[in-house]
Amino acid sequence: MALDPYFVGTIQAVAGAVALLFVWIGYRNRDKSGSWSFVVFTLGVFLWATGLAGDNFTAGFGPSFLAYRTALLGVELAAIGWLLLAMEITGRGTLTGRLLAVLGGWLVVMQLLIWTNPAQFVFGSGTALDDVLLRPEPNLGFWLHGGVSYLLAVVSIGLLAGDALLSTGARRTQNALLALAAVPIIVSNLVTVADIVRYDLSPFGFLVSAFVFAVVLYRGQFLDIVPVARRTAMEQMTDAVVTLDEDNRVIDCNGTARRLFDVGDDWFGLAVRAFFDPLGPAIDQHLEDSADNERELSATVDGEKRHFTLTISPIGDDFERGRVLVLHDITAQKRRERELERKNEFLDEFASVVSHDVATPLGVVENKARLIEMTGDTSHAEDIYDATTRVQSLIDQLEELARQGKRVGDVEAVEFEAVVREAWRTVESPSGSLTVESTATIEADRDRLRQLLENLLSNAVEHGAGETEPVSITAGVLSNGFYVADDGPGIPESDADAAFERGFTTGSDTTGLGLAIVRRIVDGHGWVVEMTESEDGGARFEITGVSVSVSVSDDQS
């Protein structure tokens, strides 16, 4: 194909000028992620195009050879810059210092070989001018240079095209256009390498690509809201973000997700169950639901129960091509909700006690006072005294209930028997006897544990003792907790669930708050309380979920 060398040189020079314009645009946006890779690429195209133009306009072997080698420098810079840009945009791979050193080292070594041409490694002795155009005789170094450059370009296009297929919206458009932008350059260069034309038409291909770059820059807002910003944004998110392909394998995730689920560097391609191992089968159940909505799930992570909201969104218009999972940690929110529920529950209990339990004895006081006033019979004063005593007891228990509704304080190693003895000294009565069958060291808030034991021991004395027969109480430890049992009449099985509710009582002179306080202390520690029948037919309260260690010899009193 006969073309005027000056016409070709002019087009190549124009392509170089356009490339220089893109260099300036990239430099002007140098604070944006990906800008420097774009500068390296377009600078390479500028040197490539102007070097070829110089070859067409210069006369003499020396100037032509200089221009041609400048063009080869541009080829390497363009290929390296394009690869770096593709890696930044797609997030496939990391721009480490080692990678940059390898690419930079390759560039330096190859250029030294091109410019010095030792043992004709790059250009053979047949390299000469064909009219005004240099015609190189390629040797091994020449093909090595071209092969690596092509390899970098193909890898870059593959990264961009693959990410475009897995993306949506603006990111898909940007990556698809950027992948296509390199195609005209490569095709025009292949035409030249195949010797279909005499001149290197690669700059012509770049002029076609320039229109694509213009669209991506100004319509796709490349270097503004460019996809490379997505990686930075994802890594800074406190939410865990994971992208799955159509086979539910992990193809992308941010640092929060990797840290939360403790996955290593080989996370790419992991099955969803392997990545989300702490979530167990729950993650599969949620993935089966194709609805694009928010749901809640829980998992034990590093020994702590955590709560999350899970949002699953499709890649594209449906879930056929994959999905994006976003997990937002709501553990703190759940704790606040539970605390608020406890406070509201206490307010309800308080209002109920004030409106009913306190109102009743106050009514007795009022009625008996009027009888004394009307009849002068002071025998009613005893009933007034009993009523005021009951009111004071209710007030004391309400205060204790409110205090136990707060969070448990510092947990420490506590000798179970010692605390039981302290609690018994507070409630000790001729109507009961205590036996400590076994003991151990347990982890608890000592003051709260003592109050719990006082209430259980008091409950046994008040409800277990007969008119003439004292109640026998036993206490001891279990492998994961402790118990308090008696040989009294016990509590009917039908009332077992209601026993811990505020106001429940089997006697007429008690407040019904003692076991409600026990439940609050148990809940505050994260324990579990259960009421069963003792071996002697009485009541047995077992508290489990307790950290127990170092058994000690039995004791009895």
The predicted-structure confidence for 507-545, as pLDDT tens digits, reads as follows 544 445 668 778 888 888 889 998 888 888 888 999 999
Question: Is 60's pLDDT higher than 90?
Answer: no
pLDDT of residue 43: 92
**Which of 134-148, 299-313, 402-416 tops mean pLDDT?**
134-148
What are the structure tokens assigned to 241, written together?
């973000």
Most confident of 62-71, 161-170, 313-322, 495-504: 62-71
Query: Residue 111: which pLDDT band, with cuts at 50, 70 and 90?
Result: very high
Residue 123 DSSP label: B
Q: What's the pLDDT score for residue 289?
A: 67
Dig out the tokens for 170 from the structure: 């603006």
Element (H, E) at 323: strand 323-329
pLDDT in tens, 223-271: 554 454 455 556 667 888 888 877 888 877 888 888 888 887 778 778 8
CA quadruple 483, 489, 494, 499: dihedral sign:
negative
CB 481 within 8 A of CB 542: yes
Model confidence pLDDT, tens digit, residues 421-456: 988 887 777 888 999 999 999 999 888 888 789 889
| Residue linked to tokens 């093909």 | 143
List, for residues 151-194, the tens digit of each pLDDT value.
Answer: 998 898 888 888 888 765 556 777 788 888 888 888 887 887 77
Bridge partner residues of 64 (DSSP): none
User: Rounded to whole angstroms, how far apart are CA atoms 275 and 133?
Assistant: 59
Sequence letter at residue 80? I
Secondary-structure percent of the chain, ordered helix, strand, coil, rounded to 5: 55, 15, 25
Q: Which residues contact 123 (CB under 8 A, 6 or more apart)?
A: 117, 136, 137, 138, 139, 142
Least confident segment among 207-211, 242-246, 364-368, 466-470: 466-470
Instruction: Give the strand pairing for 471-478 and 432-436.
Output: parallel
The pLDDT, as a whole number, for residue 435 is: 93
- pLDDT value of position 218: 59
Computed on alpha carbons and rounded to an integer, the radius of gyration of the chain in Å comes to: 41
The predicted model gives 78-99 an average pLDDT of 82
How far apart are alpha carbons 40 and 464 in whole angstroms? 88
- The rounded distance, in Å, linking the Cα atoms of 483 and 501 is 20
User: What is the DSSP track for 228-257?
Assistant: HHHHHHHHH-SSEEEEE-TTSBEEEE-HHH
For 230, other C-beta atoms within 10 Å of its C-beta total: 18
| Max Cα distance, the chain (Å) | 140
Q: Note the pLDDT of residue 553.
A: 42
Q: Report residue 499's pLDDT band, with 50, 70 and 90 as the boundaries.
A: low
**Rounded Cα–Cα distance for residues 527 and 546 (Å):** 6
Residue 140's pLDDT is: 93
Rounded Cα distance between 474 and 486, Å, is 6
Gap between the Cα atoms of 87 and 230, Å rounded: 13
Is residue 477's pLDDT more than 60? Answer: yes
pLDDT bucket at 144, cuts 50 / 70 / 90: very high
Report H helices in 243-380: 255-260, 272-275, 282-288, 331-352, 359-375
- 483/478 Cα distance (integer angstroms): 7
**The CA-based dihedral angle spanning residues 192, 198, 203, 206, taken in that order and rounded to the nearest 10 degrees:** -40
Taking each helix axis as running N to C, give the angle between helix 446-464 and helix 381-404, from 0 to 180 degrees, rounded to the nearest 10. Answer: 140
156 token code pair: 């870059």
pLDDT at 543: 94
Cβ-contact 140, 182 below 8 angstroms: no
Specify whether the CB–CB gap between 462 and 507 falls below 8 A. Answer: yes
Count of CB atoms situated within 10 Å of the CB of 494? 7
271 bridge partner residues:
249
Asked whether the whole model's pTM tops 0.75, one would answer: no
Q: Which two tokens stand for residue 212?
A: 């694509």
Calculate what percentage of the chain has a pLDDT beyond 70: 81
Determine if residue 128 is left, alpha or beta; phi over 0 gives left, psi from -120 to 50 gives alpha, anything else beta.
beta
How is residue 91 written in tokens?
């997030």
DSSP state of 480: T
Alpha helix positions (H), 91-198:
97-116, 140-165, 169-193
The number of angstroms, rounded, from the C-alpha of 189 to the middle of its chain's C-alpha atoms is 47
Q: pLDDT averaged over the chain?
A: 80
**Rounded distance between C-alpha atoms, residue 126 and residue 135, angstroms:** 8
User: Mean pLDDT throughout 354-382?
Assistant: 79
Cβ atoms of 464 and 491 within 8 Å: the answer is no
Instruction: Taking residues 212-230, report their average pLDDT.
Output: 58
Phi, psi at 450, each rounded to 5°: -65, -45
Q: How far, in Å, CA of 143 to CA of 501, rounded? A: 86
Confidence of residue 77 (pLDDT cuts 50, 70, 90): very high
Q: What is the pLDDT of residue 25?
A: 84
